[in-house]
Amino acid sequence: MRYVLGLDVSTTATKALLVNERGAVVATAAATYTYSTPAPLWSEQDPALWWQAAISSIRAVLASAKAAPEQVAAVGLSGQMHGLVLLDAADNVLRPAILWNDQRTQAQCERLIAQVPELIQLTGNTALTGFTAPKLLWVKQHEPALYARIAHILLPKDYVRLQLTGTYAIDKADGAGTLLFDLARRDWASALPELLGFDPAWLPPSFEGPAITGQISAAAAAATGLAAGTPVVAGGGDQAANAVGTGAIDPGVLALSLGTSGVIFASTAAPIIEPAGRLHAFCHALPERWHLMGVILSAAGSLRWYRDTLAPSQDFASLLEPAAAVAPGAEGLLFLPYLTGERTPHPDPLARGAFVGLTVRHQQAHLTRAVLEGVAFGLRDSLELMRAAGLRAVTQIRASGGGMRSALWRQILADVLDAELVQVNTSEGAAYGAALLAAVGCGWFPDVASAVSACVQVTERTQPSAQRDSYTAAYAIYRELYPALRDSFARLATLAH
């Protein structure tokens, strides 16, 4: 038996999985770690944690499958996007990586937007604190001695690639998330780094997701148990790799991820840019594809907060069961899921959650249903932006994440989004997509579409019901609430301590 290995370097763990030639996952393993918050709004991580976790998870997954090193045909990488890893000329890490959820760079974002008026049209995105380029501007301003020693810039998974292969490389999807990429050309924007005072030589070569970027080195073989010379493909940023893993690669087929945050991901055949930059526009993990992405920060996280705060003694199943008997619209009760601020369509860290419309008639079941519907409305905001930007008709939504365990929530999402919602035969997400990209890279399949067709199967379908029209009025009111409350949210933030 031959295998490909998918490795996902996330914010809290590195997961490895082995996939056989039939596309079946035969073993998984993960090693966890934490990140630090050394100052308010900061989020950092020691890159050594990723490498040690990669070694541990790779060795564990090989042992679990009783796989010999030479049985692994190729390795694919995925991981958290946007993080800034700085290396000197000897590949020493200069400082802890600044992660995707770090919020310190608002001033640098404002400077970048003012300095590059064509930023959205060139990169597909406006400057947000999570992106890589503003982080680099922050280091330039606040740590000039360290900045002067920079020789290489990598993203988290690409630091692990360097340890595995000794080569510098990045995939096109992750490259697009740095805010230094020419979206249409699918490569580094030639003038942008120099305009911002960065040395273009710091940037690694970029590759399409299935392209081979290097081979496992002798040192990495000794550390991980893989065979020296095993090819390592470019892979993809976590959301792009997850879309490959769920089969969302064709225009009209969307991916929906309902975890702590919520993501709507739409594959496109050409770059589509939302004029105000309220959606992310990135390259996909396969050639000749791009994608639009909207993110709400508290999706299943909203439900967890609600349960932990108001019904801590109940499990999720018993909490949600009575909500199924409540009519759509929860008898005039709406929930805003902005518990940790918001990103799409309102890039506002001061946005706050709210129940609006409470009366003495409302019981716990109404509140529960309002939470589920509020998250669905938040995701619909992204979908409406995509349609306005030029996305053609949605034919199917491929859904994943812990929230998909609820049949009620699946039905609400299908009705609110007015599209067929399907689940597929794997829940391994980005690591599985990375493995499929590796399978293409080593020649098991001629292209990503063939790999997806052979390995990803729909296992469950949820069709929009006759109740979908019942949400029209409630959603229209939901859209009015943030503009009405925005100034109040900002003033409320001054009262928090």
Range of the domain at 475: 247-497
Closest CA to 127 of 301, 278, 306: 278
In the chain, pLDDT over 70 holds for what percent of residues?
100
Q: Do both 221 and 263 map to the same domain?
A: no
242 domain residue, yes or no: no
Hunting for tokens 């064509």 — which residue is that? Answer: 118
Let me know if residue 118 belongs to a domain. yes
Spatial neighbors of 295 by CB under 8 A, at least 6 apart, are 261, 262, 263, 280, 343, 344, 382
Same-domain check for residues 320 and 436: yes
What percent of the chain is predicted at pLDDT more than 90? Answer: 88
Read off the pLDDT of residues 157-206 as tens digits, 9 standing for 90 and up. Answer: 999 999 999 999 999 999 999 999 999 999 999 889 888 989 999 999 99
The pTM of the full predicted model, rounded to 2 decimals, is: 0.91
Question: For residues 32 and 449, what is the distance between their CA atoms, to the nearest angstrom?
Answer: 32
Residue type, 274: E
Residue 108: inside a domain = yes
38-51 mean pLDDT: 94
State the CATH number of the domain containing residue 134.
Answer: 3.30.420.40
| More reliable by pLDDT, 343 or 119 | 119
Residue 195: how many other CB atoms lie within 10 Å:
12
Determine, yes or no, domain membership for 36: yes
CA–CA dist 394, 387 (Å, integer): 9
Q: For 203-246, how does the pLDDT look when each residue is reduced to its tens digit (9 = 90+)?
A: 999 999 999 999 999 999 999 999 999 999 999 999 999 999 99
Check whether residue 327 and residue 443 sit in a common domain. yes
Whether 434 has a pLDDT exceeding 70, the answer reads: yes
Q: Is the pLDDT of residue 47 over 90?
A: yes
171 is catalytic: no
Total structural domains within the chain: 2
Q: What is the pLDDT of residue 340?
A: 85
Instruction: Note whether 102 and 230 are same-domain residues.
Output: yes
Residue 496, pLDDT > 80, answer no
Structure tokens at 189: 């924007």
Sign of the torsion formed by the C-alpha atoms of 81, 83, 85 and 86: positive
- Measured over the CA atoms of residue 76, residue 81, residue 82 and residue 87, the dihedral's sign is negative
Same domain (yes/no): 155, 274: no
Of 209, 234, 259, the residue that ends a domain is: 234
Together in a domain, 81 and 104: yes
CA distance 57 to 30: 5
User: Is the residue at 239 inside a domain?
Assistant: no
Q: Which two tokens stand for residue 9?
A: 């370097």
The beta strands (E) that lie in 209-362 are given as 212-215, 231-233, 236-237, 253-258, 262-268, 280-283, 290-296, 334-336, 354-356
Residues 226 and 306 in one domain: no
Question: Final residue of a domain: which of 191, 206, 234?
Answer: 234
Report the pLDDT value the prediction gives residue 402, as an integer from 0 to 100: 86
Q: Are residues 280 and 192 in the same domain?
A: no
Flag whether 212 is in a domain: yes
**Is the pLDDT at 383 greater than 70, yes or no?**
yes
| Euclidean distance between CA atoms 451 and 76, whole angstroms | 14
Query: In whole angstroms, how far apart are CA 368 and each of 288, 385, 479?
Result: 42, 27, 20
Q: Do residues 22 and 105 share a domain?
A: yes
Mean pLDDT of 13-17: 96
- Residues 94-138: pLDDT tens digits? 999 999 888 899 999 999 999 999 999 999 999 988 899 999 999
- Residue of 96, 102, 119, 109 lying closest to 47 (CA atoms): 96
Q: Distance between CA 217 and CA 164 in Å, rounded? A: 6
Residue 478 pLDDT more than 70?
A: yes
Please state the rounded mean pLDDT for residues 87-97. 98
Instruction: State pLDDT tens for residues 261-285.
Output: 899 999 999 999 999 999 999 999 9
The two beta strands, 253-258 and 396-400, are parallel
Q: Identify the active-site residue in 8, 102, 158, 238.
A: 238
Q: Helices in 350-398 by DSSP H: which ranges?
A: 364-389
For residue 276, count other CB atoms closer than 10 A to its CB.
12
Instruction: Give dist(CA 488, CA 468) in Å, integer.
Output: 32
Residues 334, 276 share a domain: yes
Model confidence pLDDT, tens digit, residues 19-43: 999 999 999 999 999 999 999 889 9
Three-state secondary-structure class, residue 382 = helix
* CA gap 208, 211 in Å, rounded: 6
- Considering the domain architecture, whether residues 385 and 477 belong to the same structural domain is answered as yes
pLDDT at position 497 = 61
Q: Is residue 240 part of a domain?
A: no
- CB-facing half-sphere around the CA of 275: CA atoms within 13 A: 4
Q: Are residues 325 and 216 in the same domain?
A: no
Picking from 183, 203, 234, the residue at the C-terminal end of a domain is 234
Q: Is 135 within a domain?
A: yes
- In sequence order, what are the beta bridge partners of 29? 16
pLDDT at 390 over 80: yes
Phi, psi (degrees; rounded to nearest 5) at 62: -65, -40
Classify residue 100 as left (phi > 0), alpha (psi -120 to 50) or beta: alpha
Question: Which of 437, 406, 435, 440 lies closest to 423, judged by CA?
Answer: 406
CA dihedral angle for residue 226, residue 232, residue 235, residue 238, rounded to 10 degrees: 30
Average pLDDT of the residues of the chain: 95
